[in-house]
Amino acid sequence: MPAPSRPFTARHVQLSRAALAAVAAIMITFSPDHSAAIGLAVFGGFAIVTALILGLAAGLVYPSGRRWPAVLLAAVTLIAGMASSVPAWRSDVLFFVVLITWAALTGLIELLAGIRLRGTEGARDAMTVGVLGLLLAVLLLLVPAGFVQEYTIEGAGTFALTGIIVGVGMFGGYAAIVAVFLGIAGLTPAPKTSATQTDAEADRLADHGGHA
């Protein structure tokens, strides 16, 4: 007998995450200020709402054997979002510490989850997003502390490109890529057999204690 349809599915999780990433990317792209305060404010809102979606997904979407990635991702992302949402704490150092830690941890969780649950619906998407997170962490680590590069635009004046501007821009670029990728993944029709394979894999994991 076919399983009853759910009002909130893995596809909805992907599309919700894509929408939040798109909003973050747009806010950073169209903001003339790429300071730590703006970067952390945007990231904080993005992270907290993303964590809430992942928390709901852990209880409403995934079976017992597949809940651990969503739970871990929600916890790490919520902590990062809360740390970013305290105005008095916002600084260049906090931006890089929070973003690098968050990107590395969530990237690793998603990559390992995709590998662990390979063959099920969404496993490849998780691996891809995980790799993107790890790449963001590496790129942010490569930004030199105190980096400042002055440049002149004829007729406009002299400007300075700083490490925090580069870092906030990298997060915006990451968010844009994730938004497009998860949006496409969420709108792509699943293979007819994917739901059955997912349920079978979840049952196998539950039977063998495959949970966090």
The string over 62-89, giving b where at least 16 C-beta atoms fall within 10 Å of a residue's C-beta and e elsewhere, is: beebbbbbbbbbbbbbbbbbebbbeeee
Q: Where are the domains of the chain?
A: 10-201
pLDDT digits (tens), the chain, 212 positions: 444 556 678 899 999 999 999 999 999 999 999 999 999 999 999 999 999 999 999 988 888 878 899 999 999 999 999 999 999 999 999 999 999 999 999 999 999 999 998 877 788 999 999 999 999 999 999 998 777 777 667 666 666 789 999 999 999 999 999 999 999 998 987 665 444 444 444 444 444 444 43
Structure tokens at 11: 């596809």
Rg (CA), the chain: 19
Q: pTM for this one?
A: 0.84
**Per-residue DSSP letter, 119:** T
Tell me how far apart the alpha carbons of residues 31 and 40 are, in angstroms, rounded to a whole number: 13
Q: What is the pLDDT of residue 118?
A: 86
End-to-end CA distance of the chain: give it in Å, rounded: 29
Residues 76/55, Cβ–Cβ less than 8 Å = no
